[in-house]
Amino acid sequence: MRFFLLLTFFIFSVGSGNGCQLENSSTEATKDWWETAQFYQIYPRSFKDSDGDGIGDLNGITSKLEYLKDLGVTAAWLSPIFTSPMVDFGYDISDFFDIQPEYGTLEDFRALIKRAKELDLKIILDFVPNHSSNESSWFKKSVKREKGYEDYYVWHDGKINATTGDREPPTNWLQYFRGSAWEWNEERQQYYLHQFAVQQPDLNYRNPLVVDQMKRVLRYWLNEGVSGFRCDALPPLFEVLPDADGQFPDEVMTGATDDPDDRDYLTTTYIENQPETIDMVYQWRTVLDDHKRIFGGNSSVLLIETYSAAWFSMQFYGNRSTEGAHLPFNFNLITVMEQKGLSASHVQEAIDLWLNNMPAGRTANWVIGNHDKRRAASRYGEEHIDAMNMLVMILPGASVTYQGEEIGMTDGDISWEDTVDPWGCNSNPDIYEQYTRDPERTPFQWTSGSNAGFTDGPSTWLPLADGYETVNVETESSADRSHLKIYKSLVALRKSSKTLQNGSTKYGILEEDVLVIRRSLTNSPTLVVLINFGTETKTVDVSQFDKSLTANLNLLIRSLDSTKTEGTGYDPLSLSLEPAEALILTTE
């Protein structure tokens, strides 16, 4: 119903050619909190340590909630905080209903929620549905074929090789973290499927007991006062159904790499993006909506982790009759640049890819970093960090910031000896840098002091990144200008600007390298963003993009190295931008 109502409010027109992109004119219909929210991802292990063991924890997070309040973010999502042997640093959960001891206790978690409520901050948890830890009691019971747990995981006898007579895995399927996705279990005398590490057996979603159990997990944490979930690793949730003989099909070679252990070596036709996965997300949405109906309060949200192509990802939003996830993450600003490099046209392509595929009436979102991808400042170049934070904050919909992107943290330089990420550890010293995710997980940089103020203890679980002496909250807060201060002014603008919350969006390219974005709303000031992604100074005529923009534009926010002056008017007919310079101007 809501879908049809919204449909009538939104008019989408898609054009082509220079400067002509997508435009939507929306009314100022009241938006729910998440539609214009600033989400902030906390990686708990690396955010703030309160007890000196060099590992971040819940009390550490609670002690820094005022920092989040001061940043102006709406909601924090915490990477997993549940009981775990930490093979994949919390993404291998052994007890979905309790807190990892080195992070704290359930009481600490309740104190965190209480403090967050006082500060009007929302807390979102990571929901890891695809797998558990092999140390979970569910898996142990399943190994023993205990009643009710026999089919909790994807078990298979494997195949007998006709020539050698040896037992072999059921298929050639590969895990994400390199190597076979099947592991032999001596005790049960069967193989189990693990799309991630050996210690992360895949739960069997074709078993209704598993489906119910995981809904219990959602309800349990909703009852503890959380405002929703970031749903981990959705594409591999379901695998194809086996044939009548119980056999699964093999995947075929892609030609993308000649490394037979790399997941990209084979297609993932049968092990990712199954239609049942979409339906499961719709079922979780019902769990959330039911909870709200019964207990009242604000909406809680589902954010979906998926790197799948648009044809699959967009289905998570829901369809004509069913609501789905509020926000399937939009990683295009990461992935398009990873593949093609940073340029104005590639940024335009990334924006197009989401907005031109998103069903009408749904809410976009923009992500430039997380704990699985290189630091934004390292990926795009440190000179572009303000520009990229601007994009996330200026484009329509929700924004998502990974901890540290607001101060411009860069990747840590982690040696093979110090590598702890399973993806890195499953490779070798020659190629680990291609796979390891440790560089983007180094401790948060609070001060220029000992261990960057992350811990009072003598050591940190991962080495600190270089540059923390200058790139840290304390230094950037006291500087006249800094990435942090620019980030805060972006959030403040988002919150105060009706144009950003409700306005339409048009974007294009000027002089090849300059991306221009216009946000406009009737009876409100128009905002114009200009970013020079090139390496040469460019002088642009903004009226070529929008012929109504001829009067001087007032500068609101500029990137760190820009030498222009805020509060000054600039002539849009001849506006010069230095390499990497990024500006937000207003007609007001």
Q: In the window 350-379, what residues touch ligand GLC (CB under 6 A)?
A: 371-372
Nearest approach in angstroms of CB 133 to ligand GLC is 11
Taking the C-alpha atoms of residue 250 and residue 173, their distance in angstroms, rounded to an integer, is: 7
Nearer to ligand GLC, 384 or 441 (CB): 441
Tell me the residue nearest to ligand GLC as measured from the CB: 91
- HSE at residue 472, side-chain half, CA atoms within 13 A, is 23
Q: In the window 134-193, what residues touch ligand GLC (CB under 6 A)?
A: none
Q: In the window 16-55, what residues touch Mg ion (CB under 5 A)?
A: 49, 51, 53, 55
Nearest approach in angstroms of CB 385 to ligand GLC is 22
Taking the C-alpha atoms of residue 386 and residue 376, their distance in angstroms, rounded to an integer, is: 10
Q: Does 202 bind Mg ion (CB under 5 A)?
A: no
- The option from ligand GLC, Mg ion, none interacting with 53 (CB < 5 to 8 A, set by class) reads Mg ion
Alpha-carbon separation of residue 535 from 335, 349, 514, 538, 545 (angstroms): 22, 20, 11, 9, 22
Tell me the residue nearest to Mg ion as measured from the CB: 57
Of 49, 57, 202, 232, catalytic? 232
SS percent in the chain: helix, strand, coil, step 5: 30, 20, 50
- The option from Mg ion, ligand GLC, none interacting with 55 (CB < 5 to 8 A, set by class) reads Mg ion
Number of chain residues interacting with Mg ion (CB under 5 A): 5
Q: Does 88 bind ligand GLC (CB under 6 A)?
A: yes
Verify whether residue 305 is a known catalytic residue: yes
* One-character DSSP codes across 370-431: -TTS--HHHHH-GGGHHHHHHHHHHSSSEEEEETTTTTT-------TTT---HHHHTS-TTT
- The option from ligand GLC, Mg ion, none interacting with 233 (CB < 5 to 8 A, set by class) reads ligand GLC
Nearer to ligand GLC, 77 or 570 (CB): 77
Q: Does 91 bind ligand GLC (CB under 6 A)?
A: yes
Number of chain residues interacting with ligand GLC (CB under 6 A): 9
Degrees to nearest 5, angle at CA 398 with 394 and 402: 90
Exposure class string for 537-575: b at 16+ Cβ within 10 A, else e? ebebebebbbeebeeebbbbbbbbebebeeeeebebeeb
Is residue 457 within 8 Å of residue 54, measured between CB atoms? yes
Q: Is the dihedral of CA 173, 176, 180, 181 positive or negative?
A: negative
Degrees to nearest 5, angle at CA 297 with 319 and 286: 30
Given candidates 42, 203, 233, 344, which one binds ligand GLC under the rule CB under 6 A? Answer: 233
Nearest approach in angstroms of CB 420 to ligand GLC is 12
Cα 581 off chain centre by: 26
Nearer to ligand GLC, 127 or 354 (CB): 127
Nearest approach in angstroms of CB 81 to Mg ion is 12
Q: Does 128 bind ligand GLC (CB under 6 A)?
A: yes
Of 49, 305, 406, 411, catalytic? 305
Verify whether residue 66 is a known catalytic residue: no
Q: In the window 312-351, what residues touch Mg ion (CB under 5 A)?
A: none
Instruction: Please provide the size of the chain in residues.
Output: 588
Nearer to Mg ion, 457 or 579 (CB): 457
Given candidates 39, 82, 192, 196, which one binds ligand GLC under the rule CB under 6 A? Answer: 196
What residues contact 124, with CB distance under 8 A and at least 6 apart? 39, 75, 76, 77, 78, 226, 227, 228, 229, 230, 301, 303
Nearest approach in angstroms of CB 422 to Mg ion is 21
Q: Does 57 bind Mg ion (CB under 5 A)?
A: yes
* Residues carrying an active site annotation: 232, 305
Q: Which residues bind ligand GLC (CB under 6 A)?
A: 88, 91, 128, 196, 232-233, 305, 371-372
